[in-house]
Amino acid sequence: MDISFITSVIDYFATLKMPTIFEFVGTFAFAISGIRLASAKHFDWFGAYVVGVATAIGGGTFRDMMLGTTPFWMTDPIYLCWSGLALLWVILFGKWLIRLHNTFFIFDTVGLALFTVVGIQKSLDYGFPLWVGIVMGAMTGAAGGVIRDVFINEIPLIFRKEIYAIACVVGGIVFGICMWLGAETLVTHAVCGISVFLTRVLAVKYHICLPTLKGSHVQEEE
């Protein structure tokens, strides 16, 4: 193997900033969550890859369009490659993943946490206030899951009783508190991501959910 290729790869990853690393890991995690659900619906490999890509890049695409910049995956094909690696991972270790009943939940929650951090930080980098960052963080984390669920013909998690996008909002508030306390950027990112992850896990474990709207059942008189 050409040693220069290995060196260039090492140099590439050595120059990455923490939000970009979060984006890579989140892309892989979200792609696996989408491909895992697509496999349960018996999609073929290409269909599963499309679902995985949509899950991984959907939220970030909406975010970048609203921030007025080119969607992140259109400037670097590595995000599509990460989704391809996620597909390969599911193909090779699919039976093992199926035996892990919480596989989808784990990867989806990791992706949610990391993409929330990325969305908030990118909004701040573009000069927007924190409240916009919180909205963009929730969009980055949750919108891909909405697209995934629509593709596999399921009611999106964000529209159910489960705490999902609200976990992103909680993470955004924690992000703001860390900024107010003067915490370092790396610490702020880590605490924000952990808060999103724990909020989602605790909400599912203890069945914490928002109240649902009860529609009226008034029958029209004939």
For 160-192, the pLDDT digits (tens) are 767 899 999 999 999 999 999 999 999 999 999
Residue carrying the six token digits 């909020």:
199
Q: Quick one: which of 108, 98, 88 has its CA closest to 164?
A: 108
Check residues 73 and 217 and name the one with the higher pLDDT: 73
Mean pLDDT value across residues 143-171:
89
> What are the Cα distances from residue 59, in Å, to 62, 111, 133, 219?
5, 11, 13, 40
Question: For 65-108, how does the pLDDT look when each residue is reduced to its tens digit (9 = 90+)?
Answer: 999 999 999 998 999 999 999 999 888 887 776 666 566 788 88
Please compute the mean of the pLDDT values over residues 13-27 and round it to a whole number: 72
CA distances (Å), 125 to each of 6, 128, 132, in order? Answer: 32, 7, 12
Question: Which structure tokens are listed for 133?
Answer: 């960052």
Return the number of other C-beta atoms located less than 10 Å from residue 187's C-beta.
11
Whole-angstrom distance between the N-terminal and C-terminal Cα of the chain?
A: 80
Placement of tokens 């979060």 in the chain: 22
Cβ 115 vs Cβ 60: under 8 Å: yes
5 has pLDDT over 60 = no
